[in-house]
A = this chain, B = another copy of it.
Amino acid sequence: MPKISRRTAELPASPIRKLAPLAAKAKQEGKTVYNLNIGQPDIPTPRSFMEGVRNANLSVLSYSPSPGLPETLQALRGYYAEWGIDIPIQEMCVTIGGSEAFTFAMKAALDAGDELIVPEPFYPNYRGYACLTNVKLVPITTYAEDGFHLPGAAEIEAKITPRTRAFLFSNPGNPTGVVYTRAELERIASLAVKHDLFVISDEVYREFVYEGEPISVFQFPKLREHAILVDSISKRLSACGARVGVIASRNAEVMDAVNRMAQTRLSPPTFGQLGLVAFLADPDHKKAVDSMIAKFRSRRDTLFRAIRTIPGVVCERPAGAFYVIAKLPIDDAEDFVRFLLTDFDGGGETVMLAPGTGFYQTPGRGKDEVRIAYVLEEEKLVRAVELLKQGLVQYSKARAKVEAAA
Which A residues contact B (CB, under 8 angstroms)? 1-9, 11-14, 17, 40-45, 49-50, 53-54, 56, 58-64, 96-97, 99-100, 103, 107-112, 114, 125, 128-129, 131-132, 134, 165-166, 192, 196-198, 225-226, 238-243, 251, 253-254, 257, 260-261, 263-272, 275
Q: Do A13 and B197 have beta carbons less than 8 Å apart?
A: no
Kindly state the separation between the CA atoms of A2 and B197 in the bound complex, as whole angstroms: 5
Q: B residues within 8 A CB of A197?
A: 2
Given A2-B196, A63-B240, A257-B8, check contact A264 B44 (CB 8 Å): no
Given A263-B17, A269-B241, check contact A5 B40 (CB 8 Å): no
Q: Do B225 and A2 have beta carbons less than 8 Å apart?
A: yes
Contacting A59 at CB < 8 Å: which of B45, B166, B267? B45
Nearest CB of chain B from residue A372's CB, rounded to whole Å: 19
Q: Do A108 and B8 have beta carbons less than 8 Å apart?
A: yes
Q: Do A242 and B2 have beta carbons less than 8 Å apart?
A: no
Q: Do A2 and B165 have beta carbons less than 8 Å apart?
A: yes
Kindly state the separation between the CA atoms of A44 and B166 in the bound complex, as whole angstroms: 45
Q: B residues within 8 A CB of A243?
A: 96, 243, 267-270
Chain B residue with the shortest CB-CB distance to A125: B264
Contacting A99 at CB < 8 Å: which of B112, B242, B266? B266
Given A11-B264, A99-B266, check contact A60 B5 (CB 8 Å): no
Nearest CB of chain B from residue A201's CB, rounded to whole Å: 14
In the complex, given contacts A4-B257, A7-B107, A243-B243, what are 11 additional A-B residue pairs having Cβ atoms less than 8 angstroms apart?
A2-B197, A5-B165, A11-B264, A13-B263, A40-B63, A41-B60, A53-B54, A54-B54, A61-B240, A97-B267, A129-B264
